[in-house]
Amino acid sequence: MKIEEVQSTTKKQRVATHTHIKGLGLEVSGKALPFASGFVGQAEAREACGLVVDMIRQKKMAGKALLLAGPPGTGKTALALGICQDILNGVLMENFRRAIGLRIKENKEVYEGEVTELSPEETESITEDYGKSISHVIIGLKTVKGTKQLKLDPTIYDALIKEKVAVRDVIYIEANSGAVKRVGRSDAFATEFDLEAEEYVPLPKGEVHKKKEIDVTLHDLDAANARPQGGQDILSLMGQMMKPRKTEITDKLRQEINKVVNRYIDEGVAELVPGVLFIDEVHMLDMECFSYLNRALESSLSSIVIFATNRGICTVRGTDMTSPHGIPVDLLDRLVIIRTHTYGPAEIIQILAIRAQVEELVVDEESLAFLGEIGQWTSLRHAVQLLSPASVVTKINGRDNICKADLEEICSLYLDAKSSAKLLHEQQEKYIS
């Protein structure tokens, strides 16, 4: 029998704005390297972020948050992602809780893998009514190292149905409690299309049968304890401590869970895993959101919060009060502020070269210099956005390398924000205001 592995095309098809960012690009001493981890320039800001990472690791960031302030296109979002990379990693409260991980230091015996077979075995019912009942379930699980066929209790079949487990899904089953968790769809079956409702995950490493530490978030615990049936992600450890009889996630429920979590941390049963909540364009929040954030930062179980803004002195949304960056002064006092600077010509060209490499485009030096000039006249973001349409024009013209003529053609087709605003001002009478 011939078996071929189907390779995932997801990674190749999707290149995001900050795919090239792999960290902060610092030496062991904390000094910023000129070009490293996808970063160019912003040495002072990167070194300051490196100190923040050290404070997070040493648990000295409690009650504080970070504000990245600077003009548009100066790498604020990239710095936030760099911090997330370096510490390994709904609504405001839900996302706050999602950003806080809890690693339970108890080795759980689990079976984990991609489902290759799922066959419920039926038997004649022993009751008076006619029909059949499930006697056991045969399930096949596959990992990188091998496969196993398991015979499961019929009660686990109910959990499989509740999780909507199907063949090709990646799941894990707790051996002791029988709890089932559907992790996602195996990425070996991911398609090349973007319109996908599924979350694709890689094939698990190691053996099917293993012992592992369980990672959950505070929001997982909130949601599990709010369900009358006891939830799906609570796992046996938390299930022993809480009474799952609530119907919604309330502040009182969160406080109860916080008490249990704090006790586990004190006893050494569990440890907090640093998480980051990143809020871009923070000046768009209103006073009610700022008030909540002020209170939330005082919690002992607060996640690491990073804000970013490109505003100077402006009005706090929902009020008549003006404040630096559009943030109330009492919250601003809690923030460690890092400033970013505009990029120079050489740095812009270097960033464009990195982006071209990430998008697998071949651009000659003359074209990169021309793009660098465009980035200075307009913005770095606009220059980066011209790369993809330029590659399409290049292929239409029967070439593989992007040249200056291709970029000039693209520039004649697309306007940048400044040119568009100037045109609107000059032809204001032709538009509906």
DSSP symbols for 79-110: HHHHHHHHTT---HHHHHHHT-EEEEEEEEEE
pLDDT single digits (tens) 158-215: 888 888 888 889 998 887 777 888 888 888 776 644 445 567 888 888 888 877 666 6
The CATH T-level fold of domain 35-89+274-339 is: Rossmann fold (3.40.50)
Q: Give CATH for domain 362-422.
A: 1.10.8.60
Give dist(CA 260, CA 267) in Å, integer: 11
| Assigned token pair, 253 | 């429920």
- pLDDT at residue 370, rounded to an integer: 93
Q: Which of 123-137, 198-212, 295-309, 390-404 has the highest mean pLDDT?
A: 390-404
- pLDDT at residue 104, rounded to an integer: 60
Instruction: Give pTM, 2 decimals.
Output: 0.58
| Assigned token pair, 331 | 């919250």
pLDDT band at 98 (very low <50, low <70, confident <90, very high): low
Whether 43 shows a pLDDT value over 60: the answer reads yes
Residues 245-274, mean pLDDT to the nearest whole number: 68
Report the half-sphere exposure of 214 (CA within 13 A, side-chain side): 27
Among 85-89, 150-154, 278-282, 314-318, where is mean pLDDT lowest? 85-89
pLDDT single digits (tens) 318-353: 889 999 999 999 888 888 899 998 888 999 999 999
Domain residue ranges of the chain, discontinuous segments joined by +: 35-89+274-339, 102-271, 362-422
CATH number for domain 102-271, candidates 3.40.50.150, 2.40.50.360, 1.10.3720.10, 3.90.550.10: 2.40.50.360
